[in-house]
Amino acid sequence: MALLELRDLSVEYPTKAGTVHAVDGVDMDVAAGEIVGVVGESGSGKTSVVLATRRLLPPPGRVVSGRIVLDGQDLRELMPAAMRRRRGKELAYVPQAAMNSLNPVVQVGKQIGESLALHTALAGEAAGARIREVLEMVDLHPDVTRRYPHELSGGMRQRAVIAMALAPGPRLVLADEPTSGLDVLVRVQILKLLRRLVAELDLAMLMVSHDLRLVSRWCDRAVVMYAGRRAEEGPARDLLAGSLHPYPQALARALPSLRGELGGTSTIPGEPPDLTHVPSGCPFHPRCSAAMSKCSETEPPVVAVDGHRVACHLVADERAS
């Protein structure tokens, strides 16, 4: 059973140029013990899904429809004070750019302690023990409690942010590009850490990324978004070579070779659509080499094929034949 269920979620940003349809009717589930990666180009709606789930959309952004259900409770029905209690306590957030998330003039231990004070009844020695416990969880020495963020490396700062998120004991973690800005070796270390924590603590994790290889390697399931919609959902291991929708197939073909070879990498023609004027039918049809006439006329159905859910006329026609 899913811990987090998003149903028909739609998010809009009114602007002078028109309404930006950032998320349009998205369904998504995240169960305990799994990492679901949300991947797509910039502007596909990934971060808006996370912000809407936290009920922290920046004005004038708004959720215009849908349900955000955490452990059976629709978060949209909660009063602001009740939502603040659940945010952090049960629903944690791991941002990118850890240095921007930590107070540069407050010791790391005190910042983790502030998280505990806000969301738990722990105080005194019990709080100190919990701080040391979560630092150990993320492979940081207890001495880190007395250090300031600028005294830590980038990887250590990111571990400290993860410790702060985990301190109150959440069940769901929303991670927005959690390895952005880190070098390759440290990135792998952080991803290994997140996978271990998800398994050991039975966490549900929703991870936003633009990196197909990262999602295919470190996530259990992948949701590919385009123009605010879910194009395909399926096992993350299929993302690079087993996708059924033309969009993730094109993204995979556009990846550079890991061997450093020149050539052989294709590009996706055109640009992502203006979300104030999303194309009719399938929003990817203007850039799709397999587009048919009906792709521009009607929205594609979502079909289930071999563990995938795909919004594509081509896949629907092949399944029907």
Where in the sequence is the domain holding 232, given as residue range(s)?
30-56+171-257+278-321
**Distance between first and last Cα of the chain:** 33
Q: Are residues 304 and 175 in the same domain?
A: yes
Give the CATH number of the domain where residue 311 resides: 3.40.50.300
Whether 130 and 236 share a structural domain: no
Q: Are residues 223 and 200 in the same domain?
A: yes
Mark whether 153 and 231 lie in a shared domain. Answer: no
For the residues 173-190, what does the mean pLDDT come to? 93
Do 253 and 131 fall within a single domain? no
pTM for the whole thing? 0.94
pLDDT tens sequence across 128-148: 999 999 999 999 999 999 999
Rounded distance between C-alpha atoms, residue 31 and residue 69, angstroms: 12
Domain boundary among 129, 153, 170: 170
Residues 314 and 204 in one domain: yes
Amino acid at 224: V
> Which pLDDT band, with edges at 50, 70 and 90, does 223 fall under?
very high
**Do both 43 and 153 map to the same domain?**
no
- Look at residue 84 and tell me if it is in a domain: no
Q: What is the pLDDT of residue 262?
A: 45
Residues 6+ apart with CB under 8 A from 222: 36, 37, 38, 39, 215, 216, 232, 233, 234, 235, 236, 238, 239
Name the 3-class secondary structure at 318. helix
The pLDDT value given to residue 318: 86
pLDDT computed for residue 261 by the predictor: 53
119 and 211 inside one domain:
no
193 and 44, same domain (yes or no):
yes
What is the percent of the chain where pLDDT is above 90? 88
